[in-house]
Amino acid sequence: MMGDSTTLGLPERWERTLVYPLLLVIILFVPSALAWLLGILLGVLLFYIEKNRNVRWNAMQAVATLGPLSILYAVVHILMFLLGGIPLLGGVTVLGLGLLSSVIWWVMIILAVYLTIMAWLRPRYRLPFVSNIIDRWV
């Protein structure tokens, strides 16, 4: 296990664990069209300012998992807005895209909760597919 020192002064275990719910809250509950961008930037900023390796890894894993899902969530909402005005077809399209939006929303919440628990219990936990992508970035 890495040392308990972090740049922000929090215990390492707390800092690596709080990355996931903090990004999720910013992405889903901040009332802004670009809240997903703010969440992604926060994770990338933490990656660059933090010296602790485990915290950096978890920050990048949070960005690599919740970032694309939040962009997909935003795109679905934009499509719902654009296609919702079409007579007859708009209602069916909004219904289908609304269902897809709900699925993405719940996947993000479940994934963030799971990753938060895993960050608390196992400091070096890696998601199978995402860890390969992060290894290329880092």
State the DSSP code for 76: H
2 part of a folded domain = no
Q: Which domain holds residue 95?
A: 12-126
137 part of a folded domain = no
35 part of a folded domain = yes
106 part of a folded domain = yes
Q: What is the pLDDT of residue 3?
A: 54
7 part of a folded domain = no
80 part of a folded domain = yes
Q: Which positions ≥6 away from 93 have C-beta within 8 Å? A: 79, 80, 83, 84, 86
Q: What is the pLDDT of residue 132?
A: 85
Whether the predicted pLDDT of 1 surpasses 50: no
Mean pLDDT within 48-76: 89
Percent of the chain with pLDDT over 90: 34
The answer to whether 66 touches 20, Cβ cutoff 8 Å, is yes
51 part of a folded domain = yes
Task: Report how many domains make up the chain.
Answer: 1
Measured CA to CA, the distance from residue 81 to residue 133 in angstroms comes to 32
Residue scoring higher pLDDT (38 or 113): 113
- Which is nearest to 8 in space by CA: 48, 39, 36, 49? 49
89 part of a folded domain = yes
pLDDT in tens, 68-113: 998 899 899 999 999 988 888 888 999 999 999 999 999 999 999 9
pLDDT in tens, 102-127: 999 999 999 999 999 999 999 888 99
